Each structure stands twice: as C-alpha cells, then as structure tokens.
Amino acid sequence: MPAYRYQVRQGNGQTVVGVLNAETAAAAASSLRAQGMQVLTVSPIVSGIDSQAFFKRLRELNAGKVSSKHVLDFTTQLAVMVRAGIGIRAALEGIAAQTEHANFRKIIMGLKSDVESGKQFSEALARHPKLFNPLYINMVRASEMSGSFGKMLDRIAAYLAQQIETRKMVIGAMIYPGVIATMAVGVTVFLLTFVLPKFAGVFKGKEDALPWATTFLMDLSATLRSDYPIILGVLAGIGFAIFMLLRTDTGSFWFDKLKLTVPVMKRMFRALYISRSLQTLGELINAGVPMLDTIAITGDISGNKLYKRMWRGVYASVKQGKKIVHTLNTSALMPHAVVQMIGAGEESGKLGEVLEEVAGYYAKQLRESIKAVTGMIEPLMIIMMGSIVGFIAMAIILPIFKMSQIVR
C-alpha cells in the first residue's frame, strides 16, 4: 500500500507532520479528516527516483525567473478577459492554464487563491513586489475604487509595453559598443600572445636596431605570456571591486551621475529618465492615484538616483502645500521648457494630459538619441580597432623592412 506524508492542523492549532498508508491521496485525506484534523498537505512518498517528478523539477529550474515580458502578457490577457465579462477568478485560472512558465503559473494561482480568500486584487499583487511594481499596484487599486478595472489594465499593458521597448533600445545601444570593444581587446591579445612571438626569433640579437614600438610590444607580449595568471587575477579583482562598489549607495550614485555627464551618452540617458518620469507621473495622475503617492512612486521608478533625489524634493515641497514646479524650477535635471509646461498643466487642471504629451515628445527624442549614439560610436570603434591593429602590424613590418634593406 502506498505511503503518504501529511501535514495537518489539530484542534488546538498545533501543526503535525507524519506518514500514513492509504490506497490513494484522497483516502489518506479522508482518514485524517475523520480524526478531526484539518488537512494541509498530502503528498506521496516515492521510493527510488521518480523520473517524472525529477524532470518536472528540472523544467521548473530551467524556466528561470519571471521577466517583464511575462508580466506584460499576463496583463494583456487579463484585460481582454475582464472586458469580455469574465470574472477575475475565472480569468486568473484560465491564464494560469495557458502559461508555460512553471514559476509564473504558481504565482498566478497564488493570486487566484488570495482573491478567493477575500483579498482585493491589488492586495494580492502587493505580495509580489519584484514582479508588480508600485505603479502597477496603485493603478490597479485606483481602478478598483473607480470601477474601471478593464480600461486600467489596458493602460498598464500599454505602459509596460513602452517601457520594455525603451529598455530594449537602450540595451541595444549599449551592447553594440561593448561587442566592438570586446573584439578589439580579443584581437589585440591574440596578436600579442600568438602572432608576435613568432617573430621573436627573427628579431633576436637585433634588439638595439628595433624601433621603440617593436621593443615595447615584444616586452608587453613577454609579460602577457609569462605573468598572465597575475594579470588575470588583478583584472578579476578590479572587476569584483567595481561590482561591489556599484552595489553601495555611494558607488551607484556616482555611476548614475557619470551617465549624465559622459559627452556621447548623456543626451540619451537624460531623455530616458525624463521620459520615464513624466510618463509614470502622467499615468498615475490620470489613474486617480493621490498626488503624494504618485510623486513617491515616480521617484522610485525613475531609474537614476539623481532624479530620485529630485522627486523626493518635489514630494517634500508638495507635502508642505507647494506646487510641483516649485522644486523643479531649482533643478538642472529637468529642462526649463518642461517645467513651464508642467506649471501650465497645474494651473489649468490638465496636468495628466500635459505630461502624456511631453512624455511622448521625450520618448521620440530618446529614439533619435539612440540612433545618434549608435551612429557616432560605430565609426569611433572602427577607428580605434583599426588603429590598434595597424600599430601592431607596423611594429612588426617596419623592422623586417629595415633588415631587408641592410641585407641588400
């Protein structure tokens, strides 16, 4: 008879774990309930290796973490079902059944259980802050109060889609120079460690007649080949130190500041943070989220510590009864024209509409900035890579050319 491991709660509230023999899991649960116990879990005890369970667990591990794309798909499907008149519990169950990502399926079923237990949907979402950010949760909470749940889900889905697209564009702009730089370093190391040593025998005994470039590269090649463990260790140590520094508040602050000062990249990052901040602010205002909560969430989602500090100043100012533009006028992070439009929106009572238009303008400027950055970096990287390879080639060819003249 199969054995089942159970977990039950007794009448006094104490939880007990044990093993029970029964024909089926349902029979084991019925036997425990007959003893006046509340059954929490009943699972079979498998002797040996259960290949199905093993591969199921392996698939769950390979599924990885839930991405923003999964959240977007979930939001879009939920919006369609809610607008079609399907109840929230049935909609969550249907989406879970169609979700291939095992971990995300568990989360969706957890949301369904929370809703069935009487929790608001926004409360259930708040239990997963890594997946559903404060903007998502507060917009859902506002829609629960106003009764516009389906429309709000559409707005959230549109916001998430734009943020994902923006993130892809920025990452794409950063990956390209990184790939070129990696290729440049790889080609240089290959030439110094594999190609240049082949000429060591040709240049042996003629060190005094070699140009300084050739001597420098030969010494560098010898150092790389003999001391590469030390060099790799030092580089790994520097990389680890930078990684740990960026995890600190001070290090991340200076890195965020650097992104806004690098000549080629600052325009792109500035447009990114302004677009993200204004779009978030506009979405929350239009959703009916209280102003102080809106400003606090905007600062957290801005993506840059300098902009977060600016929005914290705005929060303190608004809390004292002042207008948003009061603090923005004193900050160099927000263009004066944008501040003027925000002020006009506050005066007219149409701040949400104004912010949507300005955010759209800066989203367009961000796309143009990304194209400009990519167009500038491409020739710069090609010139840099060509210069390095050309320098090494000339350092090898020049002494050979001189020796051939001496032989003649």
Model pLDDT for residues 226-263, shown as the tens digit of each residue = 888 898 899 999 999 998 998 888 898 999 999 889 88
Collapsing DSSP to helix, strand or coil, 43 comes out as strand
Grade residue 63 by pLDDT with cuts at 50, 70 and 90: low
Helices and strands per DSSP (H, E), number in the chain = 18, 3
pLDDT number for residue 283: 87
Give the single-character DSSP code of 195: I
CATH number for domain 172-408, candidates 1.20.1250.20, 3.90.78.10, 1.20.81.30, 3.20.20.450? 1.20.81.30
Q: Which residues contact 233 (CB under 8 A, 6 or more apart)?
A: none
pLDDT digits (tens, 9 = 90+) for 147-192: 778 888 888 888 888 888 888 888 877 787 788 788 888 888 888 8
pLDDT number for residue 13: 65
Q: Which residues contact 349 (CB under 8 A, 6 or more apart)?
A: none
Could you tell me if 20 and 46 are in contact, meaning their C-beta atoms sit under 8 angstroms apart? no
Across 29-46, average pLDDT: 75
Beta-carbon neighbour count of residue 224 at 10 Å?
Answer: 15
Residue 154, token pair as written in the block:
């559409």
Query: In whole angstroms, what is the distance from residue 269 CA to residue 302 CA?
Result: 11
Residue 348, token pair as written in the block:
């007219």
pLDDT digits (tens, 9 = 90+) for 121-130: 989 998 888 8
Query: In whole angstroms, what is the distance from residue 26 CA to residue 46 CA?
Result: 17
- Give pTM, 2 decimals: 0.70
For residue 281, pLDDT over 70 is answered with: yes
CATH class of 66-162: mainly alpha
Query: In whole angstroms, what is the distance from residue 202 CA to residue 217 CA?
Result: 15
pLDDT digits (tens, 9 = 90+) for 71-101: 999 999 998 888 888 888 888 988 888 888 8
